[in-house]
Amino acid sequence: MTDIMEKKGRRGGGRAARVAARAAALPDAMRPIRPGMEGGVLKVLTDAQIGQIHEAALQALETIGLVDAPQSGVDLMVSVGAIHGDDGRIRFPRQVVEDALGKAARGITLMGRDPRHDLHLSGAKVHYGTAGAAVHIVEPATNSYRESTAQDLHNAARITEALDNVNFFQRPMVCRDVVDNLEMDLNSIYASVSGTGKHIGMSFSDPSHVAPCMELIHQVAGGEEAWRARPFLSNSNCFVVPPMKFATESCETMEHCIRAGMPVLLLSAGMAGATAPSTIAGAVTQATAECLAGLVYVNALAPGHPAVFGTWPFGLDLRTGAMCLGSGEQALLSSACAQMHQFYGLPGGAAGGASDAKMPDMQAGWEQMCSNVMAGLSGLNMVYEAAGMHASLLGFCLESLILSDDLIGQAMRCVRGIEVNDDTLALDQMAEVCMGGPGHYLGTDKTLALMQSDFVYPTLGNRMSPKEWEENDKPDLMAGAIARKQAILAEGRCLVAPAVDREVRAKYSMYFES
């Protein structure tokens, strides 16, 4: 009896030690998943279809062109061979596009304020993050919506900082409590940079706001020289208003940002069936054409300037005219775009992981996972809107952001794929277990060695048996997300040095507390 108790004690102690080891942070080299893993195994387009889309995009640029560029943009694009017609449209001969592709930046790095969070964009390396301009916060505890605030944005940045699998923070919501647009832009920037050291994406309300916002950015960075050495913020720029029109003021903003040394996301966001063709191939073609035009524009101003090829065609429910980001069509749109980025060898991004569901429920789960997994498997460099976004971009949910960390972890494990070699084929393990061994693989040295390096375990996802679930007071997923949100926000850590924070708050009206 004593021997049995001793053995039980040894097993219990061993199990406790393994549980403790799993709870500890793994070194990066041992992590089963990490930012920038290679995807690209999923091919929703054949090579021939990619070629057809490319040729159609070139034809659209040469025969249809785009209209409404600011005069500065017209001058830039004409200077490299684009043709400004009597009808006001700028058309792009094939050679002009090919020249721009030859000058375009490849293998770019989007930097974080913390270098650990730098994003290396090349090939089919995959990164997941937030994005959007939601005007509401989703409150699961009360099953309700309310207007989003600067404090909500700061809280989202702080939560993102604490999540392993959300790799970047593009502003996901609008500060509805800040009425003045310049103050809103300043608050959006500072709420983000004081909350996370990951790379940040930001829009500007007006071209005239870039200069004063750059003063704030330089202050946080430690001066203009330090900023230009490590630009930790990029301009998310809707430089086109589909179909095939430049957005005049956004283009002016883009020019200011490029001169200020800020990377840009060239964002084309047509809606299939409304502002883009209703077919998946047509929507991808138009987005590709528009972003190629943007590439000409950027490289005419600053050859080789870092720019993300942001083809973001969205799905549309043709019965109602509502956006449907949680659809299978959306997953196909973004996956096809990933292949076009790789065809051009350009860093690219598209939408994935947003939901049409109003709350973080089962619908949200299947919609978010569908496009996140497909985008990752397709090798999309930047999967935007991958966490926390609901109601077809109208609502952002902090609890859903937290739950998405688990969801994206599983998606990233799919991206990592299956390693097949002499070791993983495990013939030696089979022989050891089956020929005089225990007849199972539980507890073998090999199984224990691979527990953490090969398997991804959810933080909040529940894998208990019904009996364990009962014994643990039936833990609820949403209650767990709310508790984790409260724990993160209770830490109250500002990522800007206290002296700089005091200077910023003395100079600008900030509508949130760090």
Query: Taking 80 as the threshold, does the pLDDT of residue 29 lie above it?
Result: no
- Give the integer Cα–Cα distance in Å for 148 and 162: 21
Query: pLDDT (tens digit, 9 = 90+) per residue, 189-242?
Result: 999 999 999 999 999 999 999 999 999 999 999 999 999 999 999 999 999 999
Q: How far is CA 353 from the centre of its chain?
A: 9
Q: Please write the tens of the pLDDT for every residue from 133-151.
A: 999 999 999 999 999 999 9
**Section 297-326 average pLDDT:** 94
DSSP-derived 3-state class of residue 277: coil
The residue among 53, 111, 105 whose CA lies nearest residue 305 is 105
Q: Which pLDDT does position 22 carry in this prediction? A: 54
Q: Establish how many alpha carbons lie within 13 A of residue 346's alpha carbon, considering only the half-sphere containing its beta carbon.
A: 31
Residue 470 lies in a domain: yes
Domain count for the chain, please give it: 1
Q: What is the pTM of this model?
A: 0.94
Is residue 17 a part of any domain in this protein?
no
CB 124 within 8 A of CB 39: yes
Please report whether residue 1 resides in a domain.
Answer: no
CATH of the domain at 283: 3.20.20.480
Is the pLDDT reported for residue 167 higher than 80? Answer: yes
Residue with tokens 């604490």: 162
Calculated CA dihedral for residues 466, 467, 473, 479, nearest 10 degrees: -20
276 close to 243: Cβ distance less than 8 angstroms: yes
User: What is the percentage of the chain residues whose pLDDT exceeds 90?
Assistant: 89
What token pair was written down for 213? 């916002």
476 lies in a domain? yes
| CA 177 to each of CA 146, 181, 434: distance values in angstroms, whole numbers, following the listed order | 11, 11, 66
Instruction: Determine the structural domain holding residue 178 and report its residue range.
Output: 31-443+453-514
* pLDDT, the chain, mean: 94
